Structure 1
Amino acid sequence: MPRLQGNGLGIALMILATASFTLNDSFLKLATEEVPPFQALAMRGLGSTILGLPLLFALGFGRHTGRMFEKRVSVRNGLELVCAMFSVVGLALVPLADLTALGQTSPLLLLLGAAVIFRERLSPIQIALIILAFIGALMVAQPGGSNFSPYVLLGLAAAATVAVRDLIGRGIPAEIPGLVIAVGAGAITTVGAGIAALLFDRLTMPSLPTVLFTLGSGAFLVAGHVLLLAAYRAASMSAVAPFLYMATVWALLAGMLIFGSVPNWLALLGIAVIVVSGIAVVALERWPKKANVPLELSP
């Protein structure tokens, strides 16, 4: 049996990463059925830290623990906290598949941000696909519809935060292990979400199942971060980025199997539009640049 390497390994790691993140969200959503959102998030952060620290030392990465407080790592993980706060409130109030689909606009926002901030060039086709993806996001959110919830827009806020997070995270030196970054994210989340819970939540004594849900969420969150960073380091960005959209597939399956929720036909069509647009944008990044007529966006 051939051994996976290069892009093949990166793709496999990305698929596993998206599955881990979906399981993390599913367990966290189950926890929010009993405890308030920020309390659930703080419990998950504590769980991921408790589970991650012994693993970090067991794998021989203990000497790198101080690097989780380096400036770039701390900023990246601070943005992870902001994203998690947007997401946990959304998870408590809207279907998992809808929130995940809106979150899948992050690669498109990242590309658009690079064009505006760093003056990278986009072709007219890429710009059209980005606009099409936002139309898909509106089809999922359905503002003005009978089933519209303003909380679904938290998915877009989380996507924008993820885009900035990843832009900063890609500059983190490769010698810092992914597990160190993931444990650092858990520690920052514990503190930040804990403060938010004290300020805004009515704290609730969790049952054993809820504690286990948050521990499971924390474990899959750590696994997702480690796998995601490993995927980006094992293969080219253009090879693995399209497989970020597997998260939408996993979220649809989790929504149906765990929560019994199925998006309506317009939301399903919007999800498909977002996925196809995103894959097409990334595919165009791999196309020879001379094949496109460049257009530079000015801030």
Structure 2
Amino acid sequence: MLSDNARAALFMLVSMAGFVVNDTFVKLAADHISPPQIMAVRGVVASLLLFLLAWRMGALRPLAMAMKPRLLVRTIADITATLSYITALSHMPIANASAIFQALPLTVTLGAALFLGEPVGWRRWAAIAVGFVGVLVIVRPGTDGFTIYSLAVLASVAASAVRDLTTRRMDPKVPSLFIAMITAIAVSLLGWLLIPLAGGWRPMPALTLVHLSCAAASIAVGYIFIVQAMRIGDMGFVAPFRYAVLVFALILGLVVFGDLPSPLTLLGAAIVVASGLYTLYRERVRGVAAPIKTQVH
């Protein structure tokens, strides 16, 4: 029998794999349709899957609850994060986007200190600073490797941090599945609204529809297993396994797209991950109850 922590770590690995598989299928679909159309179609499938799960597990709540201020802010932030990330992913390698996105835990820690008044000692401030140096190594502003899509990933990180900090202040009685379902519905609706502004509806080959269906199933798996990991494991033990997403992204990026990140990108990713791991370590040493529960996408 596996311990709770071992099971939670396994669930976290499955969750990270689900998110990267989603990214892979989204990137494949992006060759044929626009990011808003991806959001719209993937969102329909994901919303249906999450609705069925929420219904089966008794997590459905009145839709009017979606208009509560904190849930509304969280939904808007998640929509912004999704649109920014999918737009970037359409134009850059998966591993590069994932490497930049690993700054999210550091950004959330920074936001918690600045806006929620949570204590952060000088060691964690130093780790945050070093982590953002790692981001600069990956992005390399002022060089040929720097593009607007690098900024889009950073915008996604900022929006995700707002989402996660808002989640931290939400009523714990609101089921996670209900929150995920509301977010999926909102993302899909925005996608449908933005399609006319992105060149209109584009005919989808059957294979693209398969890709989007697989993406929706994969991201649903990611959300389900990350919730399970958070509920049964010690977050100080489980959270570092989140960085497995970068390993999965490197493997799938190379196998599916033939993308091999540059040495500087790998160095920057290593700096970001090391800084994040040290931050988690300091939280555990200081006896912080649990790291902020962040999502990936």
TM-score, normalised to structure 1, is: 0.88
Which stretch of the first structure deviates more once superposed, 220-229 or 205-214? 220-229
- Corresponding position of 1:198: 196
Deviations 1:91-130 (A, max 9, x none): 1111111111111111101111111112322222211211
**Aligned partners of 2:60 and 2:178 also within 8 Å:** no
Counterparts of residues 227-242 of structure 1 (less than 5 Å): 227-242=225-240
- Corresponding position of 2:3: 4
**Aligned partners of 1:183 and 1:222 also within 8 Å:** no
The separation in 1 between residues aligned to 2:35 and 2:60, in whole angstroms, is 34
- Corresponding position of 2:61: 64
Q: Which residues of structure 1 form unaligned runs of 5+? A: 290-299
Which residue of 194, 205, 208 corresponds with 1:207?
A: 205
Q: Which amino acid aligns with 2:153?
A: G
* 1:75 maps onto 2:81 in alignment: no
- Corresponding position of 2:187: 189
Q: Which amino acid aligns with 1:73?
A: L
- Corresponding position of 1:97: 95
- Corresponding position of 1:250: 248
Q: Which amino acid aligns with 1:222?
A: A
Q: Which secondary structure does the structure 2 equivalent of 1:258 belong to?
A: helix
| Deviation at residue 139 of structure 1 after TM alignment | 1.2
- Corresponding position of 1:120: 118
Matched-pair identity in %: 30
* 1:154 maps onto 2:166 in alignment: no
The separation in 1 between residues aligned to 2:238 and 2:225, in whole angstroms, is 12
CA-atom RMSD in angstroms: 2.0
The separation in 2 between residues aligned to 1:120 and 1:282, in whole angstroms, is 14
In structure 2, relative to structure 1, the CA distance for the partners of 1:96 and 1:148 (3 Å cut) is same
In structure 2, relative to structure 1, the CA distance for the partners of 1:201 and 1:241 (3 Å cut) is farther
- Corresponding position of 2:214: 216
- Corresponding position of 2:262: 264
The separation in 2 between residues aligned to 1:232 and 1:171, in whole angstroms, is 16
The separation in 1 between residues aligned to 2:238 and 2:75, in whole angstroms, is 22
In structure 2, relative to structure 1, the CA distance for the partners of 1:10 and 1:74 (3 Å cut) is farther
The separation in 2 between residues aligned to 1:74 and 1:232, in whole angstroms, is 23
TM-score, normalised to structure 2, is: 0.89
| Deviation at residue 181 of structure 1 after TM alignment | 2.3
| Deviation at residue 60 of structure 1 after TM alignment | 4.1
In structure 2, relative to structure 1, the CA distance for the partners of 1:197 and 1:249 (3 Å cut) is same
**Aligned partners of 2:46 and 2:184 also within 8 Å:** yes
- Corresponding position of 1:296: none
